[in-house]
Amino acid sequence: MRIVINAVNTASAGGRGVFTGLVPALSAVASGDEITVLLPPGECRLEMPHDTRSVLVPQVRKGPRALWRLADDFFRLPAIARRLKPDVFFSITDLAPSRVGCPHVLLLHNPWVTYRLARRQIGRSLRDQFIYATYYPARFRWLWPSLTRVIVQTPVMADRLRASFGVPAERLAVIPSGCLLRPGGAPLCRRRVTTAEPLRLFWPARPYPHKNHEVLAPLCRELVRRGLSDRVHFYLTLDARADRRGRRLLEGLRSNASMVTNLGPLATDEVERWFDRTDALFLPTLLESFGMRVATPATTSIRRIPATSAVASASSSCT
């Protein structure tokens, strides 16, 4: 099978995390297939399997990214698909081209389409408000009829696409909560978790709306109600200096300071060290398990707990 992976316009930190984690994993499990990867501009390190048949094609861009994206989606990428004639065209960007002439699968990991955010939640930039509140939904409404499958992060996202855009259930697929391809050789938990010390949960995520940080305050209240406040401690990586939303989240957690520590932004090597210092990863969203930073626990055998679970279920798991 010939597969073209479209990652040309993957630009955000989260999108690149999905891209750099998923492409090598897909190449490993589809080693018998011919895979052509359209790389985003700039340096992009991929640890590809040695026996892969994947071809990496870097892209060169000059000028405004928004204009290049329009040119790619409406003209250039459809032309590439017609020339390469793949069996499957797999887009892992937020949106994608139409009329590619073959089955087309879209991995929709960005919340701008599934969560119809108010303009004030997007920010002060009029450009961003237009792109994310107006263009993204309109573009997806026109695009989805040409897609064979739409992969989303959670059942909630799938329900929102059905309700907002009328996407049929048979075209939707939900990514499971993990993709553990190479289990680490270490024991499942290197430190025995007992009642003598709090369970240390690591939450490496920026304060984007889809990261679900809002669940933490009610979760802390529930833990206090159940008498478990001394049994759990959360470690966050919010940048309170640069992000107003991060400051607001931390303000709401002040009353639970004994249960929450904000480490601030961490470099990659610091993230890896905190994986070693904590007992479990508190997953911001299910699809993050494909990201490079969140894929690290797969090789270190650290536990993973989805933050998208119900508050009561998450709190009861700490007993």
Residues 12, 161 share a domain: yes
CATH of residue 146's domain is 3.40.50.2000
**267: in domain:** yes
Pairwise CA distance, residues 125 & 44, whole Å: 28
User: What pTM, to 2 d.p., does this model score?
Assistant: 0.63
Residue among 65, 190, 99 nearest 91 (CA): 99
- Tens digit of each residue's pLDDT (9 = 90 or more) over 41-82: 765 667 777 767 788 888 777 777 778 888 888 999 999 999
Burial of residue 127 (number of CB atoms within 10 Å: 0-12, 13-18, 19+): exposed
Residues 124, 13 share a domain: yes
Q: What was the pLDDT predicted at 260?
A: 94
**186: in domain:** no
Strand order in the sheet with 280-283: 260-262, 232-236, 199-203, 280-283, 303-306
Pairwise CA distance, residues 290 & 307, whole Å: 15
Residues 167, 203 share a domain: no
Residue among 21, 206, 156, 3 nearest 88 (CA): 3
Given a contact cutoff of 8 angstroms between Cβ atoms, the answer to whether 242 and 253 are in contact is no
Q: What percent of the chain has pLDDT over 70?
A: 75
Residue among 160, 14, 156, 159 nearest 92 (CA): 14
Q: Which amino acid does the sequence have at 178?
A: G
Residues 162, 19 share a domain: yes
Residues 168, 48 share a domain: yes
Least-confidence region, from 176-190, 213-227, 272-286: 176-190
Pairwise CA distance, residues 136 & 216, whole Å: 29
**189: in domain:** no
Q: Please say if the pLDDT value at position 185 is more than 60.
A: no
- Tens digit of each residue's pLDDT (9 = 90 or more) over 82-117: 999 999 999 987 788 988 999 999 988 766 787 777
**194: in domain:** no
Q: What is the mean pLDDT of the chain?
A: 77
Pairwise CA distance, residues 89 & 97, whole Å: 10
For residue 152, give the 3-state DSSP assignment: strand
Residues 237, 150 share a domain: no
Q: Which domain holds residue 108?
A: 2-174
**191: in domain:** no
Going by the DSSP 8-state scheme, the letter that residue 285 receives in this structure is S
**97: which 2 tokens?**
């081209």
Q: Which amino acid does the sequence have at 252?
A: G
Both ends of the chain: CA-CA distance in Å?
48
The domain boundary, picked from 141, 157, 174, lies at 174
Residue 268 — pLDDT band, cuts 50, 70, 90? Answer: low
Q: How many domains does the chain have?
A: 2
Residue among 11, 126, 108 nearest 69 (CA): 11
Q: What was the pLDDT predicted at 80?
A: 92
Place of tokens 């969140």: 294
**221: which 2 tokens?**
């209240």
Q: What was the pLDDT predicted at 51?
A: 66
Mean pLDDT, range 144-160, rounded to an integer: 89
**93: in domain:** yes
From residue 85, alpha-carbon distances to 34, 37, 52 in Å are 12, 14, 20
- Tens digit of each residue's pLDDT (9 = 90 or more) over 289-313: 444 444 444 444 455 454 444 333 4
The domain boundary, picked from 138, 159, 174, lies at 174
Pairwise CA distance, residues 93 & 3, whole Å: 16
The domain boundary, picked from 174, 207, 234, lies at 174
Q: What was the pLDDT predicted at 176?
A: 59
E strands along 137-262, which residues? 149-152, 172-174, 199-203, 232-236, 260-262
Residues 203, 168 share a domain: no
- Tens digit of each residue's pLDDT (9 = 90 or more) over 6-46: 988 776 666 666 777 778 878 888 778 888 988 887 656 67
Given a contact cutoff of 8 angstroms between Cβ atoms, the answer to whether 266 and 274 are in contact is yes
Pairwise CA distance, residues 56 & 247, whole Å: 40
Residues 221, 149 share a domain: no
Residues 225, 88 share a domain: no
Q: 266 or 142: whose pLDDT is higher?
A: 142
Q: What was the pLDDT predicted at 317?
A: 43
Residues 132, 251 share a domain: no
**217: in domain:** yes
- Tens digit of each residue's pLDDT (9 = 90 or more) over 194-246: 667 888 999 888 787 767 788 899 999 999 999 988 889 999 988 877 677 88
From residue 60, alpha-carbon distances to 9, 40, 43, 57, 71 in Å are 11, 8, 11, 10, 13
Residues 130, 94 share a domain: yes
**167: in domain:** yes
Residue among 182, 209, 26 nearest 120 (CA): 209
Q: Please give the torsion angle defined by the CA atoms of residues 203, 208, 210 and 212, in that order, rounded to the nearest 10 degrees.
A: 40
Residues 165, 17 share a domain: yes
Residue 314 — pLDDT band, cuts 50, 70, 90? Answer: very low
